[in-house]
A and B are shown apart, each in its own frame.
Chain A
Amino acid sequence: MDNVQILTGNQAAALGAKLCQVQVVSAYPITPQTSLTEVLSHYIEGGELQAEYVRVESEHSAMTVCIAASTAGARVFTSTSSHGLLYMHEQLHWAAGSRLPIVMCCINRGVGAPWSIFNDQQDSIAQRDTGWIQIYCRDNQEIIDTVIQAYRIAEAVYVPVMVCYDGFVLSHTTMPVRIPDERDVRAFLPSYQPHTILNSQEPRNINPVIFPWRRMDAEGCLRDGYMELRYKLQKALEEAKPVIGKACSDYTAIFGRVHEGLFWRYRLDDADALLIGMGSLATEATMAVDRLREQGVKAGVLGVRLYRPFPREEIKNCIGQRKALLIFEKDISYGYEGALCSDVKAALYGSEVKAPVHNFICGLGGRDVKAEELADAVKTSLKMIGAGNLKQQTIWLNCRTEKSNDGQSF
């Protein structure tokens, strides 16, 4: 019998961490992540989960605790949002540079100034280049499953994993969630083997100052310089793709649920217009696609699940000979365009793909995005493209200043 519970995204994430038998938890409250840390506190104080909970005074310290405890050999978990994630920035680099399999949930929220507690994905996108694997979830089932998969992935490739999901839209919305069986999780997830040694029999100085060049150790063995370590981190991320694929197929074999590893597809096979997005925005796009299909527009969705490492080849192949790419995202690289748009275009460079690209910046700071608005935007775009206007557009959806979108109404 399936064990189904009605859970918020945050409850699902906490339960996922518990099922993985995390040993050290450290977190600091911030909306909309707070309820996740509260659920974990209940588990630990109530004796349901044997773990150390370090109630730190800041997110910088939360990530530091995870780094040190993971180095000592414990499986660790943390979570944050928005300014909490930004405050961790230094430690995010340190965690990835230390090659520690930390798993963190980022409950996506806009960043100030001015203050916004509502959802967009600027926070995690701004941490794109810290060396973390980033996975975006579309619903609460995927959150609990992804947390469990994340430990398997992180501990296989020694790269930390950020499980991202949308604040309020998922974190505070209840949905039925199938709860994985504890024994199955144990079968799926081997115990954590740290790569570091921290004991007096073999005293080591971990993460000291390192030279740019390679250098002999005391035994005359040539050791890596800074460049070599950075190359290895990059390689580990690139090589994580098949590991992620395997983790997902093994997961399906044990638990029966399918989460395509790198990205998911919706009504894609014969689609001419491709809506591309991440997280709950991509879920919204599936409803837009249903409407468009009813009106005879052959549209489909490519939902990016794995954002780093970016599934370049796979996305390029999936795009193939489609007629239009409509990239929707809740972030902006100021002075250029949406980050996902740049990434998708870069994946296509040098290929045969010539489809025009329209980039939609939407839902910033929690601005509502409705399926019919997405559908209307797609139709307007397709009309422009049909009229021979192939230039890339960056459209601020539903943004009501006089000058937005050059007077075009989206």
Chain B
Amino acid sequence: MTDNLFKISEREYILPGNRACQGCGLSLAYRHALKALGENTILTIPASCLTVLHGLYPITSVEIPCLNCTFASTAASASGLVAGLKALNRNDVTVVAVAGDGGTYDIGIQALSGAAERGTDFIFVCYDNEGYMNTGTQRSSATPPGALTTTTPVLTKQEPKKDMLKIMEAHGLPYIATVCPSYPLDLHEKFTKAKSVQGTRYVQIYAPCPPGWGYLPKDTVKIGRLAVETGIFVLFEIEDGRFRLTGRSRVLAKKGKRVPVSDYLKAQGRFRQISPEQAEKLQRSVDGRWDEYVKRAGK
């Protein structure tokens, strides 16, 4: 069943006027994710742009209880919440950890792997803006090759992006999904499903970031769509090992033609130094991965 607009709660959990940048892909995705998760949720978040979005003491913009934790500790913090709530017989709460790509792919990976291996009953959400944005756009292992960051300021990032989804899949999780704020219905549906599953669930948000990626705030939805249209980012879910393309990616696999990656690269300032060889290589790796996904999805 596909969600439609009428199923999305009118209740807003993020108040207007929060401190995220204009056009922030994270805040757009977060708004709809929280609507799907509902109020019986406890959040835990590490140092990141999300800390800023949540507001500075003693004012907060988010009407869901939240425990801030240190940068490396997000999934362990969720584990502690789960254990504490269980000890107190509070069994009706969904514990949700939300971290950036730095807090997931890099410094947070040990705690995340541990919590996932233990089958901790929580949702781990990674919003992937492909760099350390809170500290001003440094390279992370999620930064794509060819991107300028403040720590790859001349040569651009040389290494490929880490495939975190594969790493999480290797943990044998009951539910894994990818979402993009440009497709809020698909996003809402996946968060609703994630909430209903037991065990460790992993959701990765593709989170366009105007200042970090070098495009105008008004274009966030457009950039998100381009990512999906090119196959740079693919919408799917894996339920108990069953892989399924969803939404626009599913349609693209059935019919239609993917847009060349160069269109995506041209739309963002961070790729202004990418070499033709890098761009070419990126196109090939996107194609290869796309074929893999389509094959897995069958038909």
Q: Which residues of A contact B (CB under 8 A)?
A: 23-24, 26, 51-52, 54-58, 60-62, 64-74, 76, 90-91, 94, 197-200, 202-211, 215-218, 223
Contact = CB atoms under 8 A, between A and B. Distances in A.
Contacts of A208: 51, 54-57, 60, 66, 68
B52 to A, nearest CB: 7
A54 B79 contact: yes
A52 B87 CA distance: 7
Closest 6 CB pairs of A and B: A68-B80, A72-B84, A57-B114, A69-B84, A61-B76, A65-B80
Interface residues of B, number: 45
Interface of B: 39-42, 44, 51-52, 54-60, 62-70, 72-73, 75-81, 83-88, 90, 110-111, 113-114, 117-118
B27 to A, nearest CB: 15
A66 B57 CA distance: 23
A150 to B, nearest CB: 19
A64 B77 contact: yes
Contacts of B85: 72
Nearest to B47: A209
A205 B76 contact: no
Given A61-B73, A203-B65, A208-B55, A26 B83 contact: yes
Most A C-beta atoms less than 10 A away, residue of B44, B80, B81, B117: B80
B123 to A, nearest CB: 15
Contacts of B65: 197-200, 202-206
Contacts of A52: 83-84, 86-87
A73 B67 CA distance: 13
A90 B111 CA distance: 15
Contacts of A91: 70, 73
A198 B42 contact: yes
A203 B73 CA distance: 22
Given A54-B79, A54-B80, A208-B55, A68 B69 contact: yes
A94 B47 CA distance: 13
A23 B89 CA distance: 11
A204 B60 contact: yes
A72 B88 contact: yes
Given A23-B88, A54-B83, A207-B67, 11 more contacts: A26-B80, A26-B83, A68-B69, A74-B84, A205-B57, A205-B65, A207-B69, A208-B56, A210-B57, A211-B57, A215-B59
Given A64-B73, A74-B88, A208-B60, A56 B54 contact: no
Nearest to A197: B65
B52 A209 contact: yes
Contacts of B81: 68-69, 71-72, 198
Contact of B67 (A55, A68, A90, A217): A68
Contacts of B42: 72, 198
A167 to B, nearest CB: 25
Given A200-B40, A200-B41, A24 B70 contact: no
A211 B56 contact: yes
Contact of B83 (A60, A74, A198): A74
Contacts of A206: 65-68
A211 B19 CA distance: 15
A393 B217 CA distance: 67
B111 A64 contact: yes
Nearest to B117: A57
A138 to B, nearest CB: 32
A66 B73 CA distance: 12
B70 A55 contact: no
Given A52-B86, A61-B111, A65-B83, A90 B70 contact: yes
A73 B84 contact: yes
A69 B76 contact: no
Nearest to B39: A200
B88 A61 contact: no
A66 B55 CA distance: 25
Given A71-B67, A204-B66, A223 B83 contact: no
Given A91-B73, A205-B54, A217-B59, A24 B80 contact: yes
A60 B46 CA distance: 14
B79 A65 contact: yes
Most B C-beta atoms less than 10 A away, residue of A64, A94, A204, A210: A64
Contact of B84 (A58, A71, A205, A216): A71
Contacts of A67: 69, 77, 80
A56 B114 contact: yes
A205 B55 contact: yes
B41 A57 contact: no
A320 B67 CA distance: 49
6 contacts: A56-B79, A61-B110, A64-B70, A64-B77, A209-B52, A215-B58
